[in-house]
Copies of this chain bind each other. A is one copy, B any other.
Amino acid sequence: MEQNTPDTNFLYADIVARIANQVKEGLLMPGDKLPSVRALSREQGISVSTAYKAYSELEIMGLVEARPKSGYYVKFTPARFSNPPKTKPPQKKPGQTSVADMIAMVYQNMQEEGVLRLSLAAPPISLIPVAKLSKSMAEAIRKSTSGNIHYENVQGNMALRRQVAKNAFAWGGQFTENDVVTTQGCMEALVFCLKAVAKPGDTVAIESPTYFGIFNIMQSLGLTVLEIPVNAETGIDIEYLQQALQTVPVKACLFVPNFSNPVGSCMPDARKQQLVTLLTALQIPLIEDDIYGDIYFGKSRPRTCKSFDTQGWVMLCSSVSKSLAPGYRVGWCIPGRFKEQVINLKMMHTISSATPTQAAIAHFFETGRYDLHMRNLRHALHTQCLRYMQAVAAYFPAGTRISQPQGGYALWIELNKNVNAYTLYQAALIHNISIAPGQIFSTDARFTNFIRISFGIPFDAAVEEHLKVLGELVRQANA
């Protein structure tokens, strides 16, 4: 039946070339089963004999082998494994680098293998009850009649919303599942809340110094930032804010009252209440990032601004990314009077959040595993925090100042005025240590002699050795 028209020849050569290329690129790996002759013919709309000819040609080329009664497979070719490991590209030169570029670079280097990530504020896997969480995932899927494949309710998984509302009790909140909207991590919650209350060109007040991801969001949403200083003891400077609000038309505030990042301050209750009263009177929404709220080292869970909110102007955002499973991307917000806008934005942008991950976290909460885990995590992090502080005190030159966080993941370290933190960051990277340079925590390069170090990684001899090296680098930079 086969006719060797030019068209057939072309089809056949094309398929041979494409499969050969997939093998070359490593998309098809030795041992991979190829579609049957019949399937290939159907898939590509060619005749069975053309498909057969293509495989024969690939066999002659040594790329494919036919196994009796089984079909065609990609052949093992020793040459494919002789490539030398890739060399690292050279580090970008210091100099005129924008904050956005620095942030991108710090993020990228974070992902490199073999680097001690003192720049990453997240729980180490060794402190997470991975097996119990996996069990919750298995249970959640088993319990669902659809195996959790269905589109989730737009506002979010009901069981998860119920648990979030219940847990709010610990920080003085009184809510039901109707008040909660789930999101893909805290970051998406912040994005939806910002979009709900501000449009491109508007100004939003933020902390200074602040988490560099905030600058990224603001830039992406076309928002202008107004930086408000943070005091290590009392948090955001309310008096400074109050004055600023008289001259700048601020559309919203985005603050981290509990264990602000990087300073680690925790606003006292009275200050929180004062802030809420001020903003409510001015009808300015407060987006409260409470992602670190559960990671307190003191006796009790600090309250939130949301707990003082009587008129719905506070939009609380949080997630399990810092406490349990960043990779699950499970977050939420309690957006007060802006709930409908947030739900609409969620529907428009993502339809709904993933069902299995939400259901698994809900199950983990329901069984009480979260509370137990958090008791252990808090204890471990507090100890780690003290060990890191000790090491910094021991190995860094005199005159170094360290923050004394009451929770969270970060030490904020002030070095001698002569030290350029970005140069230090690059020097440290050569020694496989990734730190966050102060420059990326403000828009105006105010913190050039500051660095942020996360104490999330369990303190051991290797960490101590790296901190010693870092201290030596600081000493050299001082000179």
Q: What residues of chain A have their CB less than 8 Å away from a CB belonging to chain B?
A: 18-19, 21-22, 25-28, 33, 35, 39, 42-45, 104, 107, 111, 122, 125, 128, 130-131, 133-134, 137-138, 141-142, 145-154, 162, 165-166, 169-170, 174-177, 184-185, 187-188, 191, 195, 199-200, 213, 216-217, 219-220, 222, 299-301, 321, 324-329, 344-345, 347-357, 360, 368, 371
A184 and B354 in contact (CB under 8 A), knowing A150-B327, A174-B18, A348-B216? yes
A149 touches B137 (CB 8 A): no
B166 touches A146 (CB 8 A): no
Partner of A350, one of B111, B154, B184: B184
Among A177, A217, A350, the one with the most B-chain Cβ atoms within 10 Å of its Cβ is: A350
B354 touches A354 (CB 8 A): yes
Q: Which residues of B contact A162 (CB under 8 A)?
A: 27
Main secondary structure of the interface of A (DSSP, over half): helix
B111 touches A154 (CB 8 A): yes
Alpha-carbon distance A44/B348, docked complex (angstroms): 39
A149 touches B125 (CB 8 A): yes
Alpha-carbon distance A93/B350, docked complex (angstroms): 29
Query: Closest CB-CB distance, A53 to chain B, in whole Å?
Result: 18
Q: Which residues of B contact A329 (CB under 8 A)?
A: 184, 350-355
Q: Which residues of B contact A45 (CB under 8 A)?
A: 299-300
Told that A19-B169, A149-B324, A151-B326 touch, could you supply 20 new A-B pairs with CB distance under 8 A? Answer: A27-B175, A33-B368, A42-B300, A45-B299, A45-B300, A104-B344, A122-B151, A130-B147, A130-B149, A137-B141, A138-B141, A150-B327, A199-B222, A200-B222, A213-B348, A326-B351, A329-B350, A329-B353, A354-B357, A356-B357
B27 touches A327 (CB 8 A): no
B165 touches A351 (CB 8 A): no
A21 touches B174 (CB 8 A): yes
Alpha-carbon distance A286/B478, docked complex (angstroms): 53
Query: Closest CB-CB distance, A131 to chain B, in whole Å?
Result: 7
Alpha-carbon distance A185/B216, docked complex (angstroms): 22
Partner of A28, one of B19, B166, B300: B166
A299 and B344 in contact (CB under 8 A), knowing A154-B111, A351-B213, A356-B327? no
Query: Closest CB-CB distance, A155 to chain B, in whole Å?
Result: 10
Which 9 A-B pairs give the minimum distances between C-beta atoms? A327-B355, A45-B300, A130-B147, A149-B325, A216-B348, A329-B354, A220-B348, A151-B326, A125-B146
B217 touches A349 (CB 8 A): yes
B174 touches A149 (CB 8 A): no
A166 and B351 in contact (CB under 8 A), knowing A18-B174, A151-B326, A356-B137? no
